[in-house]
Amino acid sequence: MDDDRPRPKGDAASLLAKEDLAPYSQDELRERISLLEAEIARVEKHRLTAAAHRDAADALFGKPAS
pLDDT reported for residue 52? 96
Residues of the domain holding 48: 24-60
d(C-alpha 44, C-alpha 13), whole Å: 15
Specify if 47 maps to a domain: yes
In this model, does residue 1 exceed pLDDT 60? no
In this model, does residue 9 exceed pLDDT 70? no
Specify if 54 maps to a domain: yes
Specify if 7 maps to a domain: no
- Sign of the CA dihedral with 37 first, then 43, 47, and 49 last: positive
| Domains of the chain: total | 1
Structure confidence by residue, pLDDT tens digits, 10-46: 788 888 999 999 999 999 999 999 999 999 999 999 9
- pTM given for the model: 0.70
